[in-house]
Amino acid sequence: MEPNNEEMLTMSGKEHRAVLKRLFSYTKYHVPALILTIFLVMLVTLADVFLPILIKIFLDDYLTPLHFVAGPILLLASGYMGLALGRSVIWYFQLVLFQKIALRIVQRIRVDIFSKLQNMGMRYFDQTPAGSLVSRVTNDTEAIKDMFINVLGTAIQSVFMLIGIYTAMFIMDAKLAAYSLLVFPLTMLIIIVYRKYSSQFYRARREKLSQLNAKIAESISGMSIVQQFNQEKRLIGEFEEINKDYYDVGMKNIKFNALLLGPAIDLIYSLAVVLILSFFGIQSFSGPVAIGTIYAFITYFDRFLEAIYNIMERLAMYQEAITAASRVFRIMDGTDLAPEQDAEDGLAIGQAKIEFKNVTFSYDGKKECVERY
């Protein structure tokens, strides 16, 4: 059987784009639903941008000057509650619709790969572990589903959020918005470092998981032979070794995420707050400072970093989904097909003879199990 190391597949940029293009070709059956989903995401983003503005208006126009007028304040509160409620309802429908699209896409991919396996020749199954094929049809397609649901959905929402946030910030105070961009280089550095190492950990975890699945499937299918030759202890030892490797890789990934996804983002947020407060502190020497604007900027930057956090958290998932899709498409493009019967009618065998001459048999094509006879 072939070694199960294909999970560590490394692709060039061209191959990466080709896989991504082929994946998105499955969305052609759901274009209207996708357009509707993106429109709903835009509405949710607009709500997220306008909610802090309503709080800013309340702080600057009513709370700070102690100008409490029941009518306008009730109207402002009603607008805030209505906008928040509408956002929640739209978010629910957007989430359900997007996940439905993702499940339909993965359903079609699973049918395609399963149908392809039905037409593969026996030589392919002799050389490929059964557990590996099960992993292709289940785990890899599940990774593709996660990409459409978590990665693509989060990416669309985060991009609209970043655009909306900085548009609102530049409208309120262009100078401060430009000033806040000073944290951008540090943010990009963290993203680049995280993408580089997290994808390695994620692929290693998937490799060990696939090895676990293959080991379990092969052990169960050949259990009678294992017990007849008293190989239980050896298989248990091999399984424990793979299981420990899976644990070790998982712990490395957890520690890495705990370092960059938490403290690093919090550090950037703290730096941003310091920059914003320093800007307004300097500005206060020459005039009054609007507390509502301070609140809005800090809130916007918190949501900005939340969007960055969501993107970073899913970078490894995206890389793994592309790798998984490449493995799935490799099976779909396989040419080792089963021989087909000639469908031409009227064929008849008049006389036949079967002769065995120089017959050999080998599992791997190198070591002969049956010598020539």
Domain boundaries in the chain?
15-332
Torsion over CA: 126, 132, 136, 138 (sign): positive
Q: Is a pLDDT exceeding 50 seen at residue 3? A: no
Beta bridge partners of 362: 368
Instruction: Give the three-state DSSP class for 209.
Output: helix
Determine the average pLDDT of the residues in 322-327. 86
Determine the average pLDDT of the residues in 242-257. 88
Alpha carbon separation from 98 to 136, 147, 304, 313 (Å, rounded)? 24, 12, 23, 19
Return the H-helix or E-strand segment holding 293: helix 291-313
Determine the average pLDDT of the residues in 286-313. 84
Give the number of residues written for the chain: 373
pLDDT number for residue 364: 67
Please, are residues 373 and 359 in contact by the beta-carbon 8 Å criterion? yes
User: Which residues, in sequence order, are CB contacts of 68 under 8 Å at separation 6+?
Assistant: 62
CA 59 to chain CA centroid, Å, is: 40
Determine the average pLDDT of the residues in 73-102. 93
Provide, rounded to the nearest whole percent, the portion of the chain with pLDDT above 70. Answer: 91
Q: Which residue has the higher pLDDT, 191 or 340?
A: 191
pLDDT number for residue 100: 93
Q: Is a pLDDT exceeding 50 seen at residue 337? A: yes
CA 293 to chain CA centroid, Å, is: 36
Token representation of residue 159:
């991009």
Alpha carbon separation from 50 to 45, 76, 228, 256, 307 (Å, rounded)? 9, 12, 71, 35, 17
Would residue 347 be called left, alpha or beta, if left means φ above 0 and alpha means ψ between -120 and 50 degrees?
beta
Phi, psi of 2, deg, nearest 5? -75, 145
Q: Name the nearest CA neighbour of 139 among 214, 52, 66.
A: 214
pLDDT confidence tier of residue 229, bands split at 50, 70 and 90: confident
CATH of domain 15-332: 1.20.1560.10
Over residues 118-166, the pLDDT tens digits come to 888 888 887 777 777 887 888 889 889 988 888 888 888 888 998 998 8
pLDDT number for residue 11: 63
Determine the average pLDDT of the residues in 244-252. 90
Q: Which residue has the higher pLDDT, 89 or 198?
A: 89
